[in-house]
Amino acid sequence: MILNNKILNKLINSDYIKKIYPMIDRIDTRVVWDGDEEFPFYNIELNIHLNDPDITTFNMFEKGFDPHYLINEHMIFILKMAGINRNTATIEQVYINVLSPNGENIYRY
């Protein structure tokens, strides 16, 4: 299976993620694929929109939101469920942009 925006959006905005991170309103994704169907490489951009105006750059970890853990554990887990794993594909880079409810940039990586 080739990963695309539609698939990743559906998976990453699932109840599985929202139960773990209730402060997430939605996650917009952008998948850039290298075109190789045999062993694809991907770059992924995530715009994570929060619904809690009290979360800031300085307290997001204390509030229970760790975007790196979201990616390294949960996103990788749901991609495996979709048949996309490190044996069949390579995710070269994941870019993170965390936004407050009013659209202010809280964190970028």
The answer as to whether 82 is a domain residue is yes
Confirm whether 63 is domain-assigned.
no
What is the reported pLDDT for 86? Answer: 73
Residue 57 domain flag: no
Is 44 among the domain residues?
yes
In a domain? residue 60: no
Q: What is the DSSP string of 73-84?
A: IIIHHHHHHTT-
Rounded to two decimals, the pTM is 0.92
pLDDT tens, position by position, 22-73: 999 999 999 999 999 888 999 999 999 999 999 999 999 999 999 999 999 9
In a domain, 28, yes or no: yes
Report whether 88 contacts 38 (CB < 8 A): no
> Mean pLDDT across the stretch 9-32?
96
Judge whether 64 lies within some domain: no
How are the residues of the chain apportioned to helix, strand and coil, as percentages rounded to the nearest 5? 25, 30, 40
CATH classification at residue 95: 3.30.300
Number of domains in the chain: 1
Structure tokens at 74: 């949960």
Confidence (pLDDT) at 87: 74
Give a yes or no: residue 65 inside a domain.
Answer: no
Domain that holds residue 41: 5-52+72-108
